[in-house]
Each structure stands twice: as structure tokens, then as C-alpha cells.
Structure 1
């Protein structure tokens, strides 16, 4: 008898996942999509705490097909996910971390959305449990969007529904050479290659659980891993998106989320040797990917720090950071016509020689300036003009919003 293809394969990579794994598996068992439409592929990545035994017990009782694979520890989540992906047969795959859990209707809602909209990736609303979770992309449900016209670039974790045909067509797998950021690389590539992305924002599909035991799937590592992650994501974007505004928009993510924190308050605590090494690691990234287009999209304080990184001026960067950590007033505002400049440290300092353009406020920052209008007309002048118009209308017998009285 021919077995019907499952709608979705849930891939679970598990390492030292007890006791969280029990609740994770219970959330899979409770799915409303129907067990005949689901298969589970679970990979125990060399656990010693009973994780493998828990998975096998689940396979014995679960109403859906469950494949358990036990292997030596690979050092991170990429290996188990790739092993699971190679065994998947569903039309879609969903990567579920062993310490997280699904909302009961998650798979049903996401599969229905993908089928209805014909999209290749579906994001289900994420909620944090004892930890933070991304928020900016859940404003409303979207049947079809893309990475340019929404905030989905700020959630690049692997906990999404992916059409398996998309992954197979492009030979997509997780990069096992990366110790951090491997999911960002995979998910960004899927966004860019997808025929549309959907967002389920009106139902919590995924609960991102913060562990209290200090154990995580990914082993900890030094700051150099962050630079590896930023490089991989920047190079991917550059390879798949032509130079221009769209590429600049996507580059915001690795610049602000991955690279910029390395040159924040932690930089003050770094040794001189580490500071020099960070600037050395950042240099090729800045040379290849730092453009005026990216700079214009940043807030002034972010742009200033990255400008100093690009120019390799650690002494000025430290000065900016010292003032930043003392929580002094953000800036003295300077206006030049319709432009607003924020006088952060070294603004107008000839010896520092930082171009004034670095301090040019973004439209959002400028709109926060009292009396600012994008046409540059001062508020006091606007009020005077309105008063003169009211007086002229009154002298002609015109009521507000009406026409002149008949002679």
C-alpha cells in the first residue's frame, strides 16, 4: 500500500535537552493538523542526559511516524538539522528546537497559509518564555510579502516553515563550518530565493524558551565567531542581491545586529590587543560592504561608530563610547535649512576631521526634533502664515473652510 506523503516533517535536533524535551514533544503530539499529515525526524546529537531514550519512548507512543537518529556530538545545531533534512519526506519542513514548543494549531495554520498563498516560507508568531523574542514583524498577518518590504529580516532563526522543494532545488543546507549565525545564513537565503513569504501574526505558533540550566545547543565561543557570522551573511547578500538600495537595506541586519555590538560598551572593556584584533577582522567587511547607502539608513550614533571602525580610529571610538555609557544628553541639535545634524562627539571638530554628513539625522530622527518639517519651514513661520491667511479670509467674509460671501 502506498503511504501518502506527509504535509510537514518536523525536524528536532536535540542535545542535553532534558527536561525541556518532554514538553517540546508533547506540543508536537498535541498538534491539530492530524497525525497522518505529520512526520517527525529527531536527531540526538550525542546527549548523555537521557535525551535519546526520551525520543525513543516518544517514537513508540506517538500517533505520527517518528524516526530517531542517534549520533556522536557534532558541536552545534547545523549537523543534526542537516541529518534530519536528508531524511525528510514532507512537502514542508519545520525546524523545532528541543527546548522550545509549538502552539497547538501552529503546523495546521502555517501549512494552510503556505498552501493558500503559494509561498515558500511561512513565519509563525513567536513568543518568548523567560527570554526575549523578535517583535517588529508581527504587526499583522501577511499572505504574501518579501524580505525588502517587511521586517522579516530581523528574524533569521530557523524556526520557520520551509517548502522542501525550494531547499532541494537550490541544495540548501546549514553551514556546519559556522559556530554561530548558521540559521541566519540559511533563512536569509531562503527569503531571497523564495517565491513569496507569509507571516502568521494572529496566533502564537512558537514558544521560544529560555533555559535556566545554562545549557544550549550551540557551544559558546569567542568574539571571532561573530565576525565569521557577519562575513558569511554579508557575502551571501552581496552574491544574491545586486548593488543598490535593496542590498543596502538587507546589509542593515548584519551591520547592526552582528557587527555593531562588537564596537559598543564591550569595546571599552576589551584589552588593547582585542581592540586591535576586532578592527583587523572588521576591515575587510567594511571595505567590501560599507557603503553610503547603508550609512544613510543608520541612526547617527550607529553611523558614527561604524564610520570610526571603517577609518580604524579606535581612540575616537573610545571617546564616543565613554560619553555614550555616561548617559549624557544625546546631542545638541543643529539645523541647516531642511537638514538636521546631531552634534554627537567630535561634531565640527576640525582636528578629528569627521565629515558633517556622518551626523546628518535620518528622517525618523529629524522628525523627533521639535518644530521640524521635511520642507524645512520653521514652526513659528508656519504659524504666522496660518494667522495671516485667517485674517485675510475674515476680511473677505469667508468662514473657515467656506467660500466668500456673495456681494
Structure 2
């Protein structure tokens, strides 16, 4: 009897996943792809709530092959995913969290996209259920893009379709020393190594479910783990991308998504020792990776806070964070005939503070929201040229308008 290779291995790492696991597995069983074309590898990571027993019940009745592994708790999501990946036989691998669920037709559509486009990673549109979900990368369906030409760097969760040959060739595994952000590291590496990435924006392939019991992994972990995650991602980017514009573009992600929140409203609740420790943890990261190229891509309040972190100016940072927490609109100051717009956040042109004016200078995208701002002819020309170039790029099977806006 000839055993055919499955198209996709669905890897599910599960820990204390009941009752969410019920809908998760139902969404797998409801997939329109032929059951003979998929396999499920489920790893129970030491659950005590019936998760392992329910997985075994599902394996006994499911129409597709299901392998259940039960192990001692590993302490994080990386271990179970790696166990599942080691057992995967499919041409593609999809990592499904046990408290989330697949959208209808998700696997069939993603496999078809990867086969048609020849790409190594496929992102299916994600919607949040009782929680937020990434949005900026779903502007249009793209048969072929990359991490530099689109906003996919802002969705680094593991819930994507990966060509298994890519993962095997590069020995890719989830970093079990990280307890948060491990999926960001894995996915960014896949983006950087991939021969093309596809985006399915016109069909919801994944539902990201917010748990009522507060056990979702993204809610856990101390601030020191966030700095570990930021450092690992920055080091990975630096390892794969030479210093310059392309590296700066990708560094925006760990600076804004991982590092900056440590100097947001929660900073005001930190005691003095924690504040000092956060600045100490940030110092080597700012010294190594903070650059003018990263700074100019940020909004003024983001740039200002990170500038103060880089300068270790705790005496100024609290005022700025308080201003941001209050959600106040900084006054705009127009100069140079309306062609230069500063946002007057705390310490602007305060000689004793010594913060350069350039830190408060709004870029064209942010400045356009303010009446009286006049874009320079060069900026306007470049903006029109970029729009024309995007329209000329192929999106799918020869249709125009192929690339998503760069962040």
C-alpha cells in the first residue's frame, strides 16, 4: 500500500486548553481540504484539565490521521511546537494554537496559494475574537511579496503556513530559551529566508481567540522577558540584514512593538528600581541598533520616548509618558512657510533639556493631518512616484497593484 505525503501538517501545542480546544478541533475537522491531504500532530504539554484526554478522543474519531503526544510541561509554547515539527511529514506545516480556530476553507486556500505562487510562507487573514488582531497587512491579496515590501513584519505570530522544506533546510526551530516572542523570532527568520511570501487578505483564515480566564500566553511574562525577546529579534535582523535602510525598516518592529510599550503608561506604575532596571536593559539595545533611519520612520511621540531612553534621561521621560498617557494632542508649530511641522511635546526647545528639534519634527505622513502643512515638492514627487511604482507591480496573475505599503 502506497502512503502519500500529506499536503499539510497541522501542529497543535496544547496546555490547559479546555474548553477552547473543542472549537479548535472542530474547525480542523470542518476544513474543506480532503482529510487524506492533512495530518494533525497534537502535543499535550502536561495539562491537568482534560486536554490530553480530549485530544485522544478526537484522534479516535477524526477523519484525518491524528498523532497525540503527551509530555511533562515544558514551560512554554516552543517545546510542543518543536516536538510537533519533528514529527511532521507534510509538504507544509501550519501551527495552530489550541485556543484559536481555523476559518472555513483556510487550509485549502493557503495550500493552493503556496502551490500556485511557489512561495515558502503564506499569511491568511486573521480576525480577533474578544481580542485585537493585526490589521495593516491585509490591504490586498498578494501572490508574492517579501518582508521589505509589505507590512508583514507586524504579524510575527506562528499561525502561518510554512513550506517544511524551508524549515528543514535551515534547521529552523522555536527558541526554547525564550518564554515570549519566540514565534516572532521563528517567523521573522522564515520571512528573511523565504523565496517569496503570499498574503491572503480577502478571506479570514484564522480566528485569534481571547481567553476569558486570562491564561493566554501573550498576557503573561515579566518585563525582563520582553527585553529578552526584543534583543533576540534585533540580533536576528542584524545577523541577516546588513546595516542600512533595509535593516532600519525591519528594526522598527522590535523597537515599536516590543521595546516601546515598556516606556508607555505602565512605566508610570513602575517603582523607581524597575524604571532604572528598564533603562539599564534598554541601554545596550539602543546603543547597538537605534539609528537615524529607525527614528525617522516613527511618530514623534515614539521617537521622543526612545530618544530619551537612548540618552538615559529618566528625568525627562516621565513627563513625556504622562503626556502620551493622557492622550493629549500635541500642539503643532509650523515653520518654513508651512513646510516644516514640529509637534510640541514636553521639553520642546527647553534649553535645560537639550533635546534636538529634529526629534520633534513630524514626517510627511504624520504632518499631513494638520491644516496649513505644505508638503515639499520633493516629498510630493516621491509620494506620486511610489504610488505609480506600486500600481505597476504584479499582484496576482498579472493584475496590477501588487505591493503593500511599506511601513
Q: TM-score, normalised by structure 1?
A: 0.90
Separation of aligned partners in 1, 2:58 and 2:277: 48
Separation of aligned partners in 2, 1:79 and 1:92: 19
TM-fit CA distance, 1:216:
3.0
Q: Give per-residue Cα distances to partners, 1:81-137, cap 9 Å, x unaligned.
A: 000000000000000001111112000000000000000000001111111111111
Preserved CA contact (<8 Å) 2:264 2:325:
no
Separation of aligned partners in 1, 2:374 and 2:334: 14
Preserved CA contact (<8 Å) 1:334 1:343:
no
CA RMSD after TM alignment: 1.4
* Structure 2 counterpart SS, 1:43: strand
TM-fit CA distance, 1:219:
8.2
Question: Aligned residue for 2:31?
Answer: 31
Question: Aligned residue for 2:361?
Answer: 360
Separation of aligned partners in 1, 2:118 and 2:22: 34
Separation of aligned partners in 1, 2:335 and 2:199: 41
Structure 1: gaps (5+ residues): 378-407
Moved more, 268-277 or 157-166: 268-277
Does 1:232 find its partner at 2:232?
yes
Q: Give per-residue Cα distances to partners, 1:206-237, cap 9 Å, x unaligned.
A: 11111112223578321100000000000000
Q: Give per-residue Cα distances to partners, 1:135-158, cap 9 Å, x unaligned.
A: 111111100011111111111000
Does 1:106 find its partner at 2:106?
yes
* Structure 2 counterpart SS, 1:276: helix
Deviant stretches of 4+, over 4 Å: none
Question: Aligned residue for 2:348?
Answer: 347
TM-fit CA distance, 1:341:
1.7
* Structure 2 counterpart SS, 1:203: strand
Question: Aligned residue for 2:396?
Answer: none
The 5 Å alignment of 1:150-229 reads: 150-217=150-217, 220-229=220-229
TM-fit CA distance, 1:2:
2.2
Separation of aligned partners in 2, 1:365 and 1:210: 32
Q: Give per-residue Cα distances to partners, 1:229-276, cap 9 Å, x unaligned.
A: 000000000000111111101001000000001011111111110110
Separation of aligned partners in 1, 2:59 and 2:328: 58
Q: Give per-residue Cα distances to partners, 1:352-402, cap 9 Å, x unaligned.
A: 11111111111111212213222279xxxxxxxxxxxxxxxxxxxxxxxxx
Does 1:132 find its partner at 2:162?
no
Question: Aligned residue for 1:381?
Answer: none
* Structure 2 counterpart SS, 1:123: strand
Preserved CA contact (<8 Å) 2:103 2:205:
yes
Preserved CA contact (<8 Å) 2:122 2:200:
yes
Q: Give per-residue Cα distances to partners, 1:1-55, cap 9 Å, x unaligned.
A: 2200000000000111111111111111111110010001000000111111111
Separation of aligned partners in 1, 2:257 and 2:218: 18
Separation of aligned partners in 2, 1:320 and 1:256: 16
The 5 Å alignment of 1:287-306 reads: 287-306=287-306
Structure 2: gaps (5+ residues): 379-407
Question: Aligned residue for 1:308?
Answer: 308
Separation of aligned partners in 2, 1:109 and 1:280: 47
Preserved CA contact (<8 Å) 1:9 1:92:
yes
Preserved CA contact (<8 Å) 1:120 1:163:
yes
Separation of aligned partners in 2, 1:351 and 1:213: 48
Over 3 Å counting, the alpha-carbon distance change for 1:284 and 1:12 in structure 2 is: same
* Structure 1 counterpart SS, 2:10: strand
Separation of aligned partners in 2, 1:141 and 1:376: 32
Over 3 Å counting, the alpha-carbon distance change for 1:2 and 1:218 in structure 2 is: farther
Separation of aligned partners in 2, 1:108 and 1:93: 13
Separation of aligned partners in 1, 2:50 and 2:291: 50
* Structure 1 counterpart SS, 2:13: strand
Separation of aligned partners in 2, 1:86 and 1:151: 30
Separation of aligned partners in 2, 1:202 and 1:316: 45
Separation of aligned partners in 1, 2:320 and 2:196: 42
Question: Aligned residue for 1:402?
Answer: none
Preserved CA contact (<8 Å) 1:332 1:344:
no
Over 3 Å counting, the alpha-carbon distance change for 1:30 and 1:346 in structure 2 is: same
